[in-house]
Structure 1
Amino acid sequence: METTHAAAITIAFLLGLGARSLKLPPMVGLLAAGFILGGLGFESGKFIYITADLGVTLLLFTIGLKLKVKDLLATEVWASASSHMLLMVAMMTLGINVLGVTGLTMLANLDLSTSLLIAFALSFSSTVFAVKVLEDQGESSSLHARVAIGMLIIQDIVAVLFMAWSKGEPPSPWAILLILLIPARGLLNKLAVRCGHGELLILYGMMLAFLGSWVFEFLGVKGDFGALLLGMLLAPYSKAEEMSKILMSFKDIMLVCFFLSIGLDEVPTLQDFAIAALLLLFIPIKMVGYFALLTLFKLRARTALLSTLALANYSEFGLIIATVAIKAGWLDSDWITILAISVSLSFIIAAPLNNYGKELYRRWHKPLMRFQRKQRIPGDEILHPGNAEILIFGMGRVGAKAYKTMADRYGEDKVIGIDNDHDVVKSFCAQGWNMILGDPTDVDFWERKSGTFEIKVIMLAMKNHQENKQAASLIRKQGFPGCLSATASHEDEIQELRDLGVDAAYNIYGSAGEAFANHICTYQGDTKEPKA
């Protein structure tokens, strides 16, 4: 490896790590690394550009693997996403032309079609940013996460359709044969199952993404659309989630080249930074649009706010759109640098907003409630606790076992299981369990109750430690006088929970070995008490 390549990797790593240390997505550091390397005269070869293209293809394939049509068909998702995009493109096109009065050359000489393209690129929000933030907060299955990600997928589909249309050539007559992929999806899934769980499944996923893209290109259809479609065909099957997870690291490392390539192409000027900063003025407009539409479609103010904060940024897909437009000759190449700076700056703004989202809602609760409608969507209905005395939050393996044990000991009507994943709640309800769709970190959760909660015990069994801490703090602030217990994965987490008012904290891993040994002793008929 040449010294320059080693230095480039080192700079990319250090800036990516620096961004992460500041609680920003690493892509902010990677974009900055590209600009620095470009300024130092580093020349990117074919490898970076080829890998960048493969990264975009793999990104679209993994998005397809997560695509659940039923989530996209919810009115609050497709209607909000499409309405927001139309409104933002119109408003930002007007706004970009108004900014021309600043006298900056790049803004003063824009025609209507160029303004529309820039506005279209800025109308997208970042899938990578939102997914990462929601996963870090342990809320990827919550209602506000499902709404936000659903809207992002709608945007991604629009982006792929634009990319397919930008090809500018009619597809081959043989492209009609692609419809045969629909009945073939069962065979594709069987092959995935035969691959097992290791390297063959990784290779199979890559083969589908890259070979599928090539076949679509060969037939005159945009290859990126082919990658997304093949992912969608596998999405209903159980193997899709596993394939998405094992391809994640490969996709991320390939996208590193995409973000680096943006900075390597052009060295930003002071005018580029000035225009990028001006474009940030549209972020508050995007946020108001998201919040207004989501509350209009019957989401609670809290849900709408948290979804809005996850979407309060510009998108890496906007950069992909701009790249496609530049290749087609519709946009000046200088704009990719400006948009890349805007995307990075938008992440710097959005990161702290998301970190303090729930605190912002608690502070602005009353004025935000004015926008909330009386009607509720499924998942926000009034709660009817009945005679329940025990609440169990988080119905994973630990929570489900705790529910069964408590129900056997105290009676089914005394226990309620609560989870923020609609599919988990639906599954347990089908088994006859008392379940509620809810989020323990939601300050409005208790306001959804009908009558009085005579709760004596609350058990926090969520997978994410931060979420358990937030819930414990909120529950005690609500004045709950009963027994509060929580699970932990490490010894230091137990003390953190106790400091927040948790009466009993249980290390699920620390006690696993002891429980395993006791199980074997019981199996062998050894009933002796352990030595002190």
Structure 2
Amino acid sequence: MTEALWIFFAFTLGLLARSAGLPPLVGYLVAGFTLSGLAAPFDLQTEDNLILGELAHLGVLLLLFTVGLKLKFRSIFRPEVIGGSLLHFAITGLVFMPGLYLLLDLSTADALTLAIALSFSSTVLAAKVLESKQELRAFHGRVAIGILVMQDLLALGVMSLTAGHSPSVYALLVFALPLLRPLLFRLLDASGHDELLVLLGLMLALAVGGIGFELAGLSSELGALLMGALLARHPRAVELSNSLWSVKEVFLVGFFLQIGMGGLPDDHALLFAVVAALLLPLKGLLFFGLLLLFRLRARSSFLSSLLLTNYSEFGLILASVALPQWLVPLAVTVALSFIISAPLNRLAHPLYARIARYIDPLESSKRHPDEQPVSLGDTRVLIIGMGRTGTAAYEELRHTESRLMGLDSDPARLKGHRMAGRNVFFADAEDFNFWQTLDMPELEAVILCLHDIEGKKIAARKLRERGFTGFIAAHTLHEDEVPQIREAGADDAYLTMNETGVALAGHVNQHLNPVDRTPLPESLG
């Protein structure tokens, strides 16, 4: 009975939200509050809420695991990420604490804890927005996720202090996790493409990352994220993420329902949430200013800041540990911030286009290294994605084409290519900033060898938007993806297995019917 009500209200209100042009998650939040109001008439038991809480937790772990699959550690250890997150954390705490202390008549410790809870932004919402827009690997997406990971680490530290316990000595084993990467790669290779692949993802996210980290006194959320990040460099990381998509989406509905079912708010909670919502622009402006200080372009600073302009589910977790009396007001605050933030992020790019002329002059004349304009020089043929297929194409073309260049988003792969004498450089085809600054004066042909269908579509679309009229070819494993790639702007897309079969048949034909290449006698020449 209870599960049927969850599904009914989540679907109905999610559909209404989508019909109104809002993300379905807004409907799920409203469904949660509706169910909270119906708890007594429908006899929704505490045990049912505990079950929903478990489902919600699983959804968060799976989401963070899939975020980790697309995360590169180098995107975290950057000045704008570490500096931006720490400065925002410190400034927000110092500004919010006196106001909370004076206006709410709290103790100094409670005011500081509540200020810290309000300083965090939502990893779940940002990851969900970026994932839905295929911008997890875009520069502004990497910056936002990096800052959120830093905030999560800060939240874990604060929760350890307020709960009066610290991680166990086994937590030091986290530093040995990179040693597991070869084993994890072998497991992923051996898992095939069916249910074993899904089970591997669930085991790593929920068992190894979730329960394993909890036993070591660390956050299960951090564990799921790190386990995903360990597999991010594997060629099948995208396939693993896609295989978990439907399971993760269903469990995440439980997360948003749970926030709303935290309890019906009273007048005090509603007033607190409204005031906190009015302060959201200040939170976003602080992020925007800090990122500009680290020499990000105004566009990147704006998009990253908009993703971070909300309150965090980690604030609820912190409140459950240190400020249980503030759990419902914070739940309403987080829900209201989601309702405001989600539609704004859906319109992020049009919003930037409207205000670009006002904020672009604010950016530094010195650009961030990752946002320098890119020029292809006299390159005639460009290969995007230098994995096995891209490398094979490069080797075939290098015999006849001297003006050849490859691009790849994996820094570790670049070293091997350069040692082999290939003209390969770093670039992320899914980073919209890359296309904004790309100069390609003599480019005539592009080969798309990216693993991800979305990457191919983005690259083809952006090339055409930049005025490129040359030939674009791509490869794909799936026949239903061919029309999508062509529609995005590619001249043609070839099925990898078909092309492999043709090449194999050519080799066999050459063996059975060798061409006589013996030079003709001079008398017959």
Using structure 2 for the length normalisation, give the TM-score: 0.76
- In structure 1, what is the Cα distance between the partners aligned to 2:340 and 2:164? 32
User: Is residue 506 of structure 1 aligned with residue 502 of structure 2?
Assistant: no
- In structure 1, what is the Cα distance between the partners aligned to 2:464 and 2:181? 51
SS of residue paired to 1:391? strand
Q: Structure 1 residues 366 and 203, CA, compared in 2 at 3 Å: closer, same or farther?
A: closer
Deviation at 1:75, TM superposition (A): 1.0
Offset from partner CA, 1:98-156 (integer Å, 9 cap, x none): 9x6xxxxxxx6556554443332222222222223323333322322222211110011
Report the equivalent of 1:103.
Answer: none
SS of residue paired to 1:507? strand
Report 1:2-81 matches (<5 A): 3-19=1-17, 26-41=24-39, 42=42, 43-49=44-50, 52=53, 55-56=56-57, 59=60, 63=64, 69-81=73-85
SS of residue paired to 2:329? helix
Deviation at 1:319, TM superposition (A): 2.5
SS of residue paired to 2:472? strand
> In 1, are the aligned partners of 2:298 and 2:359 still within 8 Å (CA)?
yes
> In 2, are the aligned partners of 1:141 and 1:421 still within 8 Å (CA)?
no
Report 1:439-450 matches (<5 A): 442=432, 445=435, 447=437
> In 2, are the aligned partners of 1:468 and 1:486 still within 8 Å (CA)?
no
Q: Structure 1 residues 185 and 423, CA, compared in 2 at 3 Å: closer, same or farther?
A: closer
Report the equivalent of 1:152.
Answer: 148
> In 2, are the aligned partners of 1:212 and 1:227 still within 8 Å (CA)?
no
Offset from partner CA, 1:229-277 (integer Å, 9 cap, x none): 5864885466895898467766655554443333333123566445433
> In 1, are the aligned partners of 2:118 and 2:312 still within 8 Å (CA)?
yes
- Counterpart among 126, 148, 154 of residue 130 in structure 1: 126
Moved more, 270-279 or 134-143: 270-279
The residue identity in structure 2 corresponding to 1:91 is V
Deviation at 1:406, TM superposition (A): 4.0
- In structure 2, what is the Cα distance between the partners aligned to 1:448 and 1:194? 39
Offset from partner CA, 1:52-96 (integer Å, 9 cap, x none): 257548846975866755433211110111111222233344566
Q: Structure 1 residues 310 and 486, CA, compared in 2 at 3 Å: closer, same or farther?
A: farther
> In 1, are the aligned partners of 2:32 and 2:256 still within 8 Å (CA)?
yes
> In 2, are the aligned partners of 1:12 and 1:33 still within 8 Å (CA)?
yes
Moved more, 254-263 or 337-346: 254-263
Report 1:5-404 matches (<5 A): 5-19=3-17, 26-41=24-39, 42=42, 43-49=44-50, 52=53, 55-56=56-57, 59=60, 63=64, 69-93=73-97, 113-169=109-165, 175-176=168-169, 178-179=171-172, 182=175, 186=179, 190=183, 193=186, 196-197=190-191, 198=196, 199=199, 202-203=202-203, 205-209=205-209, 211-213=211-213, 215-216=215-216, 223-225=217-219, 228=222, 232=226, 235-236=229-230, 245=241, 253-269=250-266, 272-327=269-324, 331-354=325-348, 357=349, 359-381=350-372, 383=374, 385-395=376-386, 400-404=391-395
Report the equivalent of 1:483.
Answer: 470
Gaps of 5+ in 2: 514-525
- Counterpart among 421, 424, 435 of residue 432 in structure 1: 421
Deviation at 1:435, TM superposition (A): 3.2
Deviation at 1:515, TM superposition (A): 2.9
- In structure 2, what is the Cα distance between the partners aligned to 1:192 and 1:293? 38
Report the equivalent of 2:522.
Answer: none
- In structure 2, what is the Cα distance between the partners aligned to 1:410 and 1:93? 64
Q: Structure 1 residues 423 and 311, CA, compared in 2 at 3 Å: closer, same or farther?
A: farther
The residue identity in structure 2 corresponding to 1:454 is E
- In structure 1, what is the Cα distance between the partners aligned to 2:53 and 2:185? 26
Q: Structure 1 residues 152 and 431, CA, compared in 2 at 3 Å: closer, same or farther?
A: farther
Q: Structure 1 residues 340 and 286, CA, compared in 2 at 3 Å: closer, same or farther?
A: closer
Q: Structure 1 residues 384 and 7, CA, compared in 2 at 3 Å: closer, same or farther?
A: closer
Moved more, 10-19 or 121-130: 10-19
The residue identity in structure 1 corresponding to 2:443 is I
> In 2, are the aligned partners of 1:31 and 1:259 still within 8 Å (CA)?
yes
Using structure 1 for the length normalisation, give the TM-score: 0.75
User: Is residue 409 of structure 1 aligned with residue 422 of structure 2?
Assistant: no
Q: RMSD value over aligned CA atoms?
A: 4.3
Offset from partner CA, 1:457-503 (integer Å, 9 cap, x none): 355666666766666665555554x4253548546536744xxxx4x
The residue identity in structure 2 corresponding to 1:344 is F
> In 1, are the aligned partners of 2:130 and 2:141 still within 8 Å (CA)?
yes
The residue identity in structure 1 corresponding to 2:156 is V
- In structure 1, what is the Cα distance between the partners aligned to 2:310 and 2:222? 23
Offset from partner CA, 1:16-60 (integer Å, 9 cap, x none): 455566675554333222111111124243353266257548846
> In 2, are the aligned partners of 1:323 and 1:336 still within 8 Å (CA)?
no
When the two structures are aligned, how many residues end up with a matched partner? 491
Moved more, 233-242 or 314-323: 233-242
> In 2, are the aligned partners of 1:393 and 1:459 still within 8 Å (CA)?
yes
Q: Structure 1 residues 184 and 309, CA, compared in 2 at 3 Å: closer, same or farther?
A: closer
The residue identity in structure 2 corresponding to 1:215 is L
> In 1, are the aligned partners of 2:398 and 2:404 still within 8 Å (CA)?
yes
SS of residue paired to 1:148? helix
SS of residue paired to 2:265? coil
- In structure 2, what is the Cα distance between the partners aligned to 1:349 and 1:94? 31
- In structure 2, what is the Cα distance between the partners aligned to 1:181 and 1:496? 45
> In 1, are the aligned partners of 2:22 and 2:342 still within 8 Å (CA)?
yes
- In structure 1, what is the Cα distance between the partners aligned to 2:63 and 2:481? 32
User: Is residue 525 of structure 1 aligned with residue 495 of structure 2?
Assistant: no
SS of residue paired to 1:6? helix
Gaps of 5+ in 1: 101-107, 217-222
| Same amino acid, percent of matched pairs | 30
> In 2, are the aligned partners of 1:201 and 1:243 still within 8 Å (CA)?
no
> In 1, are the aligned partners of 2:140 and 2:303 still within 8 Å (CA)?
yes
- In structure 2, what is the Cα distance between the partners aligned to 1:205 and 1:442? 30
SS of residue paired to 2:379? coil
Report the equivalent of 1:515.
Answer: 499
- In structure 1, what is the Cα distance between the partners aligned to 2:436 and 2:203? 48
> In 2, are the aligned partners of 1:438 and 1:445 still within 8 Å (CA)?
no
SS of residue paired to 2:491? strand
> In 2, are the aligned partners of 1:399 and 1:461 still within 8 Å (CA)?
yes
> In 2, are the aligned partners of 1:185 and 1:233 still within 8 Å (CA)?
no
Offset from partner CA, 1:412-443 (integer Å, 9 cap, x none): xx122345555555554454333344466747
The residue identity in structure 2 corresponding to 1:336 is L
Q: Structure 1 residues 258 and 445, CA, compared in 2 at 3 Å: closer, same or farther?
A: closer
- In structure 1, what is the Cα distance between the partners aligned to 2:442 and 2:353? 25
> In 1, are the aligned partners of 2:427 and 2:434 still within 8 Å (CA)?
no
Report the equivalent of 2:517.
Answer: none
